[in-house]
Structure 1
Amino acid sequence: MNLLYKRAYTLLMAATWLAAQPACKKTDGYNDIVSDDTSKPGVVTNVRVTNFNGGAYITYNLPSSKNILYVQAEYKINDHASRQTKSSFYSDSLTVSGFAKSQDYTVTLYAVSRAQVKSDPVQITVHPDTPPYLLVLPTIVLSNDFGGVNIRVTNKSKANLGIITIQPDAVTKKMEIINQNYTNQDSINYSIRGYDTTTYRFGVYITDQWGNISDTVYANIKPIYEVMMTKSLFKAMKFPSDVGTDFGWEMPYLWDNNTGSPGFHSTFPSSVPLPKWLTFDMGQSAKLSRYNAWFRGIDGSNNFLWASGAPQTWVIWGRNTDAVDETLPGDTLALPAVGQATPNGWINMGMYHLPAQPSGLIAPQYTNADLAYWNAGFPFNFDLNLPKVRYLRFECFTNAGGSNEFFNMMELSFWGDPR
């Protein structure tokens, strides 16, 4: 598929996305004739406009006609797309949105009767501020990452946006879409991986839910070498300060390539609160780049999503010299900086947090998208300036259930450069 076709597909996806947005749906129930009064209603008056990023609020006085059902706004948002927005006679305002640029646009207002008779048109001019998809364009940063390209975008308005990545096709050399990331997060940071260490041309552009498309930001990226750490080399270690296990859920289940039961479970019940930690040997030294963590989800008839013993806040510790026991800091405020070590040499590899449910629901409620997000495991990056390590400790400070008594995990996978 060529880029033109794929951009058309992107517009279709954006249109589908738009249809799913409650704030943008056309209101049903205005089409039935509920009155025999076919007289033309009066026009709206005293129209006022307040512009915002990508749109405008419009307020007005309704005509004195008693058979008004709604006010309708008709307008073009770009060179090829038009929109209608309706507002009930119970309201004296409506919102127009989706404009492609910060410039003058004509909006035509009609008062519509219960018999679906339109008033004479009232034309006004709105001048939206810069739309969100263009606001974020200057914030795009592409940088080399382990196995691919890292993409960062700042979306302060938390607008619904699509971050579209393109790359030349190996055969046709035409730019093709390789990744589409639809999100409303304010801080967007993710990587596209699976590349070797030669230089690649990547491009990123932004689209919104109305199909507007920004210019493209290009960069030449040379991915950093990485491989998955060989799990067959991993070995459990047990120091006096390490947490115990329970239910037969032992540490080696964390690297058995099975994200289902059983996994690792710390001692339960326990009168000693978190933090608690475990220690293991990767069997080889590596400059780690990232890891993926899988936690207990739907297990039989039980729902552990964002609940129970899933780690909520944790720290990864590492060292390259022989592992030694040490009581780790019990307060996140007492941690050495990332890359710095404890008195006995355990290096802080980073503090991490369980991501929130994409749906915004609160456990035990969840959507199919929440479940898919959970089952895919949670990816986390290591700082690129960290040294090579061989021995790791996982210290859990809090759990998702809030009991802060125990923690459990199903699988851990690590990537890096062991050369």
Structure 2
Amino acid sequence: MKKICYLLCILIPVYIYGCKEEGRIDHIDDSAPAPGPVTILGVTSKPGGATIKYKIPDDDNLRGVKVVYTRNGEVCESKASRYVDTLVVEGFGNTSPQEVKLYSVGVNEKLSEPVSTTIQPLLPPVQTVKFDMEASFGGVIVSINENYTNADLAIVLMADTVGNSSRTQWIDLQTFHTKSVAMKFARRGLSPTPAYFGAYLRDRWNNVSDTIFKTLIPIEEIKLPKDKFRNAALPTDYFTPAENNSGYRLEMLWTGPEAHSGGEFYASSHSAPMPQWFTIELGYKMSISRIQKWPRSNYELYSGTAPRVFQVWGSDNPNPDGSWDDSWKLLGEFEQLKPSGYGEGREVGPITDEDNDYWYNRTEFDLVPTEEAPDPYQTVTHLRFKILSTFNTYGTDASMSQIIIGELTFWGQLRDDE
């Protein structure tokens, strides 16, 4: 028995060692010749570049294919494995013909003889995407439109520190980034005096558009005080908090996350009717230019109980019976913006980093004149929010839904002098 135990003590470690997984060892034959060249099958032009389709050689030593080209004076290359039959070259700032060279790459990194072809890029996005700027409340709004390729673009807003078009000294005021088909960005906090501004587009290869210039006058705007806000509690309003918890009261909309950073928010009960509305008595005469909204922190990203479509109504003398009579005027109807866009069926779809940042940090709604709301800047003493759908109820006939909002802040002008 002692001999058997002794043998087992020797054999088991040997067996374990023998079964141990070894690291992969690839044999690379440095003496193997370079693979044969690729055969180019076609070239498809695209904005700022081209897609090249090719056939690889039948060679066991082939690792992949690379293309070498010169862009903005710099030699660049792109690579693809042997399992791919296309390569993309991109980043050109014009439509001039460009020579590119394709190489087969061996496992031992030896290159085949080059195969040359000429591509002719289409106009790059910085030359085709439409952009503009306009004066707004508190500053300037720059906009991008028709970015149909979802190109990664920056729009640079400049300001002249001298202040006139005959003698200029430019500074970059702010740069905004987007891949959206259409997007607006606001630079707030500017003085309500005439100023000379410029804007241009830039892509990630530093190709730039022409610059547009405008003299604009930002409209005076302040963050409106919340010290006199209260729940108007009109008879038809719904503001019952979830679980009757005082921490979910309507008042959390103006004394919640922004004021306390304690995670407070407004949450209606789970059996709330849809649509549902609530009314805020402002305590001042105000003209509203924009509304900022914060969601519940780290919760329901483009989903769940967050409002998706809602209306804002204003009154300076609401009917105390809570009815929707002529004392209420529509100031605007809004849908939660998603910078990357909703799907063809209005589904939420993939969520990008830009979407995430907008949801938690930059969601705001500008009041602008429309056919339905021709005078959004009228003087009001009460605001009424009518939630038409949450993300849960959008596109359904749901009759009940909870609503959760973190915080509301209003910008505009005080009109106590009227």
CA–CA separation in structure 1 for the residues paired with 2:39 and 2:47? 25
Structure 1 partner of 2:6: none
**How far apart, in 1, do the equivalents of 2:102 and 2:283 lie?**
71
Q: Is the 8 A contact 1:323 1:391 kept in 2?
A: no
**3-state secondary structure, aligned to 1:231:** coil
One-letter code aligned to 1:317: W
Quote the Cα distance in structure 2 between the aligned partners of 1:392 and 1:140: 33
Q: Structure 2: where are the runs of 5+ without partners? A: 1-25, 370-374
Task: Decide whether the 8 Å contact of 2:297 with 2:406 is kept in 1.
Answer: no
Tell me the amino acid that sits aligned with residue 115 of structure 1.
N
The structural deviation recorded for 1:290 is 0.3
Aligned-pair identity in percent equals 29
8 Å contact from structure 1 (residues 143, 150) kept in 2? yes
Partner Cα distance (2:410, 2:339) in 1: 24
Alpha carbons 1:72, 1:85 under 8 Å: kept: yes
The CA distance in 2 between the partners of 1:82 and 1:147, in whole Å, is: 45
Aligned to 1:400: 391
Matched, 1:43 2:25: no
- Show the counterpart of 2:131: 140
2:75 is the alignment partner of 1:82: yes
Which residue is 1:333 aligned to?
A: none
RMSD (Å), alpha carbons: 2.9
The answer to whether the Cα contact below 8 Å between 2:38 and 2:103 also exists between their aligned partners in 1 is yes
Q: How does 1:190-205 map to 2 (within 5 A)?
A: 190-205=185-200
Distance 2:351 2:58 in 1: 48
C-alpha separation between the residues in 1 aligned to 2:384 and 2:120? 56
**Residues 373 and 282 of structure 1: CA distance in aligned 2, closer, same or farther (over 3 Å):** same
Q: Distance in 2 between matches of 1:401 and 1:411?
A: 20
Note closer, same or farther for the CA distance 1:263–1:357 as it changes in structure 2 (3 Å cut): same
Q: Does the 8 Å contact 1:143/1:221 carry over to 2?
A: yes
Q: 1:392 is aligned with what amino acid?
A: L
Shift of 1:64: 4.0
Show the counterpart of 1:94. Answer: 87
1:316 CA drift (Å): 0.7
Once residues 329 and 388 of structure 2 are traced to their aligned partners in structure 1, the CA distance between those partners, rounded to angstroms, is 17
* 8 Å Cα contact 2:181/2:340 also seen in 1: no
1:237 aligns with 2:232: yes
1:255 counterpart SS class: helix
Q: Is the 8 A contact 2:263 2:297 kept in 1?
A: no
Query: Of the candidates 49, 57, 61, which is equivalent to residue 55 of structure 2?
Result: 61
How many angstroms apart in 1 are the aligned matches of 2:286 and 2:135? 19
2:127 is paired with a residue of what secondary structure? helix
- Identify if the C-alpha distance between structure 1 residues 375 and 260 changes in structure 2 by more than 3 Å, giving closer, same or farther: farther
**Alpha-carbon deviation of 1:192?**
0.6
In structure 2, relative to structure 1, the CA distance for the partners of 1:150 and 1:241 (3 Å cut) is same
Q: 1:74 to 1:397 in 2, by over 3 A?
A: same
Q: Distance in 2 between matches of 1:203 and 1:307?
A: 38
Aligned partner of 1:174: which letter? Q
Inter-CA distance 374–181: structure 2 relative to 1 (3 Å threshold): same
Whichever residue aligns with residue 165 of structure 1, its letter is L
Is the contact between residue 155 and residue 177 of structure 2 (CA under 8 Å) also seen in structure 1?
yes
Contact 1:290 1:381 in 2 (8 A): yes
Gap change, CA 1:87 and 1:184, over 3 Å in 2:
same
Q: Deviations over 1:174-210 (max 9, x none)?
A: 3222212111111111211101211122211111122
SS at match of 2:126: helix
- Determine if the alignment matches structure 1 residue 118 to structure 2 residue 123: no
Give per-residue Cα distances to partners, 1:23-72, cap 9 Å, x unaligned.
Answer: xxxxxxxxx98333432332223442111111111112323444222111
Structure 1 or 2, whichever has the larger Rg, is 2
Correspondence for 1:251: 250
What's 1:106 paired with?
A: 99
Residue type of the alignment partner of 1:127: Q
Per-residue deviation at 1:325?
A: 4.0
Q: Which residue of 2 aligns with 1:163?
A: 155
Alpha carbons of structure 1 residues 369 and 140: separation in structure 2 relative to 1, 3 Å: closer
User: Residues of 2 paired with 1:223 and 1:355: CA distance?
Assistant: 24
1:214-363 alignment runs, 5 A limit: 214-246=209-241, 247-248=245-246, 249-256=248-255, 257-258=259-260, 260-266=262-268, 268-270=269-271, 273-298=273-298, 303-327=299-323, 343-356=325-338
Aligned-residue offset at 1:261: 3.6
Structure 1 pair 381/323, CA: closer, same or farther in 2 (3 Å)? farther
Aligned residue for 1:128? 121
Give the C-alpha shift of residue 368 in structure 1.
8.1
Could you say if the C-alpha distance between residues 323 and 377 of structure 1 is closer, same or farther in structure 2, counting changes exceeding 3 Å? farther
The 3-state SS of whatever aligns with 1:49 is strand
**Cα distance, 1:129–1:258 mapped onto 2, change above 3 Å:** same
Contact 2:180/2:339 (<8 A) preserved: no
Tell me which amino acid in the other structure corresponds to 1:264.
Y
Q: TM-score, normalised by structure 2?
A: 0.78
Q: Provide the C-alpha distance between the structure 1 equivalents of 2:41 and 2:406, rounded to a whole number of angstroms.
A: 60
Q: Note closer, same or farther for the CA distance 1:278–1:157 as it changes in structure 2 (3 Å cut).
A: same
Counterpart amino acid of 1:344? D
Task: Find the aligned partners of 1:349 and 1:410 in 2 and give their Cα distance.
Answer: 21
Quick check: 1:359–1:367 contact (8 Å CA) kept in 2?
Answer: no
Distance 1:101 1:229 in 2: 48
Kindly indicate whether the alpha-carbon contact (under 8 Å) linking 1:306 and 1:401 is maintained by their aligned counterparts in 2: no
- Structure 1: state its 5+ residue gaps: 1-31, 329-342
TM-score norm. by structure 1 comes to 0.78
The letter for the 2-side match of 1:42 is G
- SS of 1:111's equivalent in the other structure is strand
Asked whether 1:376 is paired with 2:361, we answer yes
Q: CA deviation at 1:326?
A: 4.6
Q: Following the alignment from structure 1 to structure 2, what is the Cα–Cα distance between the partners of residues 307 and 259?
A: 23
